[in-house]
Amino acid sequence: MAIHSDARVPRRFISNPASMIMSATVAVLMLHTSPSLAFKRTEVREPCRNYNPLRQPFFGETHLHTGLSFDAGIRFVQPSPRDAYNFAKGGSVVGVGPNGFPTRTYTQDRPLDFAAVTDHSEHFGEMGVCKSAHLPGRFSFECQLLNGFWWQPGLFPGSGQRNLATSAFNLLALPNDGPSTLNTRLPMCVNGESDCIASEQRVWDEMQAAAEEAYDRSAECSFTSFVAYEMTSTPLGENWHRNVIFRNDRVVPRPITAIDLAQKPNLNPNTKPPRQIVAGGPDIKKLWQGLREQCLDAGNGCDVLTIPHNSNLAGGTGPIPPMFYDPPDRAFAQQRQFFEPLVEIYQDKGSSECRWDPRYQEGVETTDENCNFELLDSPSILAASGVTSSGGGAGSPPPSSFNERMYIRNVLKDGLLLEKSLGVNPFKLGVIAATDSHNGNPSYNVEDTRFGGHLGIEDAIPVRSASTIQNGSGGVAVAWAEENSRDAIFEAFKRKETYGTSGTRPVVRFFGGWNFKQSDCQTQFATKGYKQGVPMGGDLPAPPTPLPVNGPSFIAAAWMDDYIGTPLQQIQIIKGWVERGVTKEEVYTISGDPNNNAGVDNQCNRIGDGFDSLCAVWHDKNFNPKQSAFYYVRVLENPVCRYSTLWCQKNYNLNPLNASCSDDLAKLPAQKQADAAMCCKNETSTPIVQPVIQERAWTSPIWYTP
């Protein structure tokens, strides 16, 4: 289906402004001679030549670790933040294989538009000491662990024994994994053996300097970097992590970390013991309060937001979901809505949209079978991080083992309910995706044999354990912005005009309004979308009088990733609403053909047809103006083989698409059997692994509030 060119700026035009259509060029000239922009400029820089008032899709990374993260350092990850930004711009990083492991060099296929390095802030001081060449503390026991001194090749891989890098992780992370929120520095810092405060500052300064060096402030606007870090609180394996992203080069003096968020009762200072700690999660309000005092209210133009970590690993089945618990009051709900406009829906460690388990023919508050995508068999982040045995090793947990708010669709539905009682929707969340890679290679999303895991030597052989093979190659964050600059992209984050992908880079647009027509797909629908409706992340305007017979209208369009070239299969709209106090959902296919029989043969060759682009206008004919609702788009590509399938075919001549796979595995020598133990897993096995997947994209919702 043909779609008018103003609906999308094709990727080839983004890096070649001279090729843009005349209307966009005129718009650029007008805006650059005008004193006003569509967003507030908070930094000194040249205006971008490639400026489009109808906005452009910029692809990037918002969750990435380098060798400065303690859990990467113990697994021999070497790249620095500078290396990571160079990789994002189209460069390479080297993964050093110690003691006989082959050296892995990762090269980015195509540059990103933006990136944020988010190293774990809790051990910046320790990492600064241990990675130094002259500080005496580098000889401490903790530094020997952080630098991999106790790694033993005889225990890795396939021996059935735990690698001592993982043992080091357990020791280093213990203060953060205990039953309370008491997080401490390592003994080398607490006992005064090393000046970790000064080292923490050096690391934080290094991260800022790396971001500044990578940022293109010229009119070319070829790359945008953000200063960022990850707050990493994991009491009892429950995931409270947040990525903290700053708008510009004005940031907090030092990161506000999980160590700062311990919940302490209001005790008299003379009370014994004076450091009693409340069990449970951290006080997230301390993070927001600190960011407000040290950034937003600093008077220097500092701005910031926080992004909750992929929630499918939030952990636990208790009454209080650790990542998205009920706000205690309206003020908390307002703070949450202000500081957390986005959520991570997908990354290396699986999908958080929803869950449907084909082994049980059951979902977590859903019957949507397309929720069978990149599932993990554990609710704990520790399993996916290689710290404990995965859920696959402990059996196949039923859907009832997973808290409903570990999945974003359920969180969005519950947000509608909470809005009725609080007057504020605390879960009015836009959508992005990321990788959470710990290899210093942002958005290295190759779905082929080049993918080398995401955690150094821990998953250097992607088929040796359940936790390894269930991890995917991660996703990409996409922001619709006028130009590729910090201010423009940050504003897109704040207004939620964003979407996430599972690793490919399709272009997706989504508008909601009251009078879109199917013929708009053939016209300048982006112009009409902004003028007469709202984009993804927005709120439907009040319905006109009289109410349209067919309810609100939505226009959704998608273009395939023209670099990878996998055709599109369909566009879906997912609706969630509240009816008589009960949350409901429905999935509608609005364009494409879910029954087109496209797929792969048993050698992973593509078969069947698909679509280069799709566009449709959909009307909610069941709309009730008295019911709160949200709508988001999911774009499905044609099926392709997962990287693990290709990896096993190439390296072990094992094919999970063949019925003989298990018999072929048994014929291998003992060591190869151990290394390839997971190669024959599929959707019916434990652990669950999809040999064939459908890459996809998810947009931020559009909300309706009566």
Return the higher-pLDDT residue of 19 and 199: 199
Whole-number pLDDT of residue 313: 84
pLDDT attached to residue 36: 60
Please say if the pLDDT value at position 448 is more than 70: yes
211 in the same domain as 224: yes
Look-up of token digits 């971001």: 211
Mean model confidence pLDDT for the chain: 86
- What's residue 280's pLDDT? 61
Q: How far, CA to CA in Å, does 273 sit from each of 7, 24, 113, 264, 277?
A: 63, 66, 52, 12, 10
pLDDT of residue 548: 93
Assess whether 110 and 182 both reside in one domain.
Answer: yes
Whether residue 11 is found in the same domain as residue 83:
no
Residue-level pLDDT at 299: 96
Selected residue with higher pLDDT from 525 and 457? 525
CB 697 within 8 A of CB 564: no
Considering its fold, how many domains does the chain have in total? 3
Q: Looking at the domain assignment, is residue 307 inside a domain?
A: yes
Beta strands per DSSP E along 199-272: 224-226, 228-231, 242-246
Residue 461 pLDDT > 90: no
3-class secondary-structure state, position 155 = helix
Q: What is the pLDDT of residues 521-579, one digit of tens each?
A: 998 899 999 999 999 999 999 999 999 999 999 999 999 999 999 999 999 999 999 99
**Tokens 């809005």, located at residue:** 419
pTM score of the predicted model? 0.92
Q: Give domain status of residue 93, yes or no.
A: yes
Averaged over 676-685, what is the pLDDT?
A: 94
State residue 137's pLDDT score.
84
Give residue 266's pLDDT: 52
What domain range is 247 assigned to? Answer: 61-481
Residues 141 and 185 both lie in one domain: yes
435, 387: one domain: yes
Q: What share of the chain in percent tops pLDDT 70?
A: 83
Region 446-467 average pLDDT: 84
* Any domain includes 487: no
The contacts of residue 595 (CB under 8 Å, 6+ apart) are: none
- Helix residue spans in 149-283 (DSSP H): 164-177, 187-190, 196-214
Considering the domain architecture, whether residues 205 and 337 belong to the same structural domain is answered as yes
Report the 3 state secondary structure along 451-486.
CCCCCHHHHCCCCCCHHHHHCCCCCEEEEEECCCCH
Kindly state whether residues 327 and 186 are assigned to the same domain: yes
Question: Model confidence over 116-148: pLDDT tens digits?
Answer: 999 999 989 999 999 888 888 888 888 888 887
Among the ranges given (305-309, 451-455, 546-550), the one the predictor scored with the smallest mean pLDDT: 451-455
Question: Per residue in 284-306, pLDDT tens?
Answer: 999 999 999 999 999 999 999 99
Lowest-confidence range among 52-61, 169-178, 329-338, 641-650? 169-178
676 in the same domain as 530: no
Residue 249 has pLDDT above 90, yes or no: yes
Residue, of 591 and 402, whose pLDDT is higher: 591
Instruction: Verify that 217 and 242 share a domain, yes or no.
Output: yes
Q: Are residues 448 and 534 in the same domain?
A: no
